[in-house]
Amino acid sequence: MRDVSRRSLVKGMAGLGALVASGLVGPRRLALAQGDPVLAGRPLVRYPEKTDLILLTSRPPQLETPMKYFDRAITPNEAFFVRYHVFPIPLEVDLATWRLRISGRVDRPLELSLDDLKTRFPRASVTAVNQCSGNSRGRFAPRVLGGQWGDGAMGNAEWVGARLKDILTAAGVRQGAVQATFDGLDKPAFPSVPDFVKSLDITRIMDDPDVLVAYEMNGAPLPMLNGYPARLVVPGWYATYWVKHLSEIEVIDHVFEKFWMKPGYRIPDNACGCVAPGTVLARTVPINRLTVRSFIAAPEPGTRVSVGRPIILKGIAFDGGEGVREVQVSDNDGATWRQARLGADLGRYSFREWSAAWTPGQPGPARLMVRAINRIGESQGREPLWNPAGYLRNVIEHVDLQVG
Amino acid sequence: MPVGLLGIVLAASAMTAATVAAAADRTISMPSDHAYATLRSGPGVEVTRQQCVSCHSTDYIVMQPRGNARQWDAVVTKMIKVFGAPITDQDAKTIVEYLATTYGN
């Protein structure tokens, strides 16, 4: 039933003729997604503990997950995307010496080994989406500076670890504490480069039992490139807060405003987080909650299907923690929508699997669209929003098929 | 990391905590920069490569939207002022000219 057009494949590779001819890039190693200008020419690469992922940048490493993995709720660890901010990155962790230190405005500063995290605090679990703030930035028009991601800077896993509020309670947060800062083992090569440090409000942490220091991902230790031995998990919020290789937590009496909190990772301070293209932002806030998104992972774009023969569309939907109420598909450019079937509910922070049967009606090109609606009625727009950093993209997605 | 070593690490996680502490040290090694996004030749390419790759691979440059001299100057200035790249004024000028000519709009 599926027959990816060879002609388009060959055409897509023509621009890379020189690289292919030089033997630097084998044709089978190209991350071809038919007609996708953002992924065109990007190689598939295999990094430690990872399967073939789409290369964005070599150093610091940034790898994205091919769309085919989003036909299911749980993203395999080996296919989970990778994103670092500074180079070099940690290539080695020795659990005999690794410690998570909690300091600052606390009664009892702590130094916790991985074993301490596992034995001194109740084991908590949450299934949650980890999505890069700039996921799909490459699709912004007009284009914006930054990592030109396709749609694969996201994944969903079951995270197990200690609750951050339990750890801070053990340390004893003092009166006047406002935020906690989070730092990992990744340290820049030059002292002049801002270290990657993030912060969260103390109230945000103490009110939310799902914020974890996670040491397990889908039942296994975290892959090194996803933050071994432990990372912060902030369900419903963008991945920028999910600090990898977590090593330092400091409780402070003010709002932290170093580079990666300000001016980095800011969105317009308005309801949509968007502005007219070209606008210079006046008031901004730190990026926070995920917007509603949904994707069609199967069939792949360009798949050839037959009139009258039903196929199954599959994909995932998610939001910032209200939970997905409904997923709808359209085959007539959004004139009418019909309900998709939802898969198992793995919790309000998780990818929600969906599927829908569709029978091609007439020969020629067909466009299938998908949108999700969450439990408070938030959905996705027909027109993409824009902001200068390329964040929060959540336009209605589609795939184009060929009906033969 | 070779698949075999990963297997050992995963197997170790099933052992007792005491054993894990001794056996779970994790080491990976990274591939070198991929050649899919090398800089196009042109005046200033060598200076650009030398200065930029001490912090990041060239794919970071090649994938960006094209820009004129003013836009590339803003990028190079950000690398120096915000990220502390140790680039001289003369080299910065060469890099901006190279980028605006080779990756201009």
User: Are A113 and A261 contained in the same domain?
Assistant: yes
Using alpha carbons only, what angle is made at residue A388 by residues A383 and A393, rounded to the nearest 5 degrees? 40
The span from the CA of A181 to the CA of A255, in Å, is 9
- Assess whether pLDDT exceeds 50 at residue A21: no
For chain A, give the percent of residues with pLDDT over 70.
92
**How many other CB atoms are found less than 10 A from the CB of residue B35?**
14
Query: What pLDDT shows up at residue A31?
Result: 53
Residue showing tokens 């920028």: A240
DSSP state, residue A363: S
CATH placement of domain B35-102:
1.10.760.10
- State pLDDT tens for residues A30-82: 555 557 999 999 999 999 999 999 999 999 999 999 999 999 999 999 999 99
User: Are A247 and A300 contained in the same domain?
Assistant: no
- State pLDDT tens for residues A306-361: 999 999 999 999 999 999 999 999 999 999 999 999 999 999 999 999 999 999 99
With contact defined as beta carbons under 8 Å apart, do A251 and A180 qualify? yes
- Assess whether pLDDT exceeds 60 at residue A182: yes
Q: Do A57 and B56 lie within an 8 Å CB cutoff?
A: yes
DSSP characters for A304-360? EE-TT--EEEEEEEE-SSS-EEEEEEESSTTSS-EEPEE-----TTS-EEEEEEE--
What pTM, to 2 d.p., does this model score? 0.89
Using alpha carbons only, what angle is made at residue A64 by residues A353 and A184, rounded to the nearest 5 degrees? 105
Where is average pLDDT lowest: A189-198, B46-55, B89-98? A189-198
Query: What pLDDT shows up at residue A6?
Result: 33
ipTM comes to: 0.86
Q: Nearest CB to A192: which of B9, B56, B84? A: B84
Query: What pLDDT shows up at residue A16?
Result: 36
The span from the CA of A386 to the CA of A274, in Å, is 5
What pairing do the DSSP bridges indicate for beta strands A311-318 and A293-298? antiparallel
User: Are A179 and A301 contained in the same domain?
Assistant: no
User: Are A105 and A238 contained in the same domain?
Assistant: yes
Contacts of A94 in chain B (CB under 8 A): 25
Detail the DSSP E strand segments found in A122-193. Answer: 123-131, 154-163, 179-184
Collect contacts of A32-36 with beta carbons under 8 A, ≥24 apart. Answer: A33/A66, A33/A67, A33/A150, A33/A300, A33/A301, A34/A4, A34/A5, A34/A8, A34/A9, A34/A300, A34/A301, A34/A302, A35/A8, A35/A301, A35/A302, A35/A400, A36/A150, A36/A301
Please, which pLDDT band fits residue A245 given cuts at 50, 70 and 90? very high
With contact defined as beta carbons under 8 Å apart, do A391 and A293 qualify? no
Mean pLDDT calculated for residue range B69-84 = 95
Cβ neighbors of B37 (< 8 A, separation 6 or more) are: B57, B58, B59, B61, B62, B63
Q: Do A145 and B63 lie within an 8 Å CB cutoff?
A: no
Half-sphere exposure of A344 (CA within 13 A, CB side): 5
Q: Do A96 and B25 lie within an 8 Å CB cutoff?
A: yes
Closest chain B residue by Cα to residue A263: B82
Detail the DSSP E strand segments found in B1-105. Answer: 26-27
Q: Do B65 and A144 lie within an 8 Å CB cutoff?
A: yes
**How many other CB atoms are found less than 10 A from the CB of residue A310?**
10
3-state secondary structure of B11: helix
DSSP characters for A215-279? EEETTEEPPGGGTTT-EEE-TTB-GGGS-SSEEEEEEESS---STTTTTTTEEESSTTS---TTP
Query: What pLDDT shows up at residue A9?
Result: 34
Q: Do B36 and A41 lie within an 8 Å CB cutoff?
A: yes
B15 vs A313, which has greater pLDDT? A313
Q: What is the CATH number of the domain that holds A315?
A: 2.60.40.650
Q: Do B59 and A191 lie within an 8 Å CB cutoff?
A: no
User: Are A242 and A107 contained in the same domain?
Assistant: yes
Residues forming beta bridges with residue A52, ordered by sequence position: A46
Query: What pLDDT shows up at residue A34?
Result: 56
DSSP state, residue B32: P
Contacts of A191 in chain B (CB under 8 A): 84
User: Are A255 and A148 contained in the same domain?
Assistant: yes
Phi, psi of A287 (to 5 degrees): -60, 150
What pairing do the DSSP bridges indicate for beta strands A364-374 and A397-403? antiparallel
Query: For residue A234, what are the domain limits?
Result: 100-265
Q: How far is B57 from chain A (nearest CA, A)?
A: 5
The span from the CA of A50 to the CA of B1, in Å, is 9
Confirm whether A201 is domain-assigned: yes
Chains A, B: CB contacts within 8 A come to: 115
User: Are A210 and A307 contained in the same domain?
Assistant: no
Q: Nearest CB to A61: which of B17, B30, B84? A: B30
- Assess whether pLDDT exceeds 70 at residue B7: no
Confirm whether A220 is domain-assigned: yes
- State pLDDT tens for residues A107-119: 999 999 999 999 9
Q: Do A96 and B21 lie within an 8 Å CB cutoff?
A: yes
Q: Identify the residue among B6, B10, B15, B26 best suited for mutation to test binding to A, counting A beta carbons within 10 A and taking the highest.
A: B26
Q: Which two tokens stand for residue B90?
A: 């003369």
Q: How many domains does chain A have?
A: 2
Contacts of B82 in chain A (CB under 8 A): 194, 259
The span from the CA of A146 to the CA of B63, in Å, is 9
Element (H, E) at A400: strand A397-403
CA dihedral A32, A33, A39, A44 (to 10 degrees): -40
- Region of B89 on the Ramachandran plot (φ > 0 left; ψ -120 to 50 alpha; else beta): alpha
Q: Do A224 and B17 lie within an 8 Å CB cutoff?
A: no
Residues, chain B, total? 105
User: Are A259 and A394 contained in the same domain?
Assistant: no
Q: Where do you find CATH 1.10.760.10 in chain B?
A: 35-102
Q: Do A190 and B31 lie within an 8 Å CB cutoff?
A: no
Residue showing tokens 């070198």: B32
Contacts of A56 in chain B (CB under 8 A): 59, 63
Q: Which of A265, A281, A305 is the last residue of a domain?
A: A265
- Assess whether pLDDT exceeds 60 at residue A22: no
Cβ neighbors of A358 (< 8 A, separation 6 or more) are: A310, A311, A312, A313, A329, A331, A368
Q: What is the CATH number of the domain that holds A168?
A: 3.90.420.10
Please, which pLDDT band fits residue A278 given cuts at 50, 70 and 90? confident
User: Are A165 and A235 contained in the same domain?
Assistant: yes
User: Are A253 and A353 contained in the same domain?
Assistant: no
User: Are A254 and A301 contained in the same domain?
Assistant: no
The span from the CA of A168 to the CA of A102, in Å, is 8
CA-nearest of A142, A118, A136 to A216 is: A118
With contact defined as beta carbons under 8 Å apart, do A374 and A389 qualify? no
User: Are A319 and A201 contained in the same domain?
Assistant: no
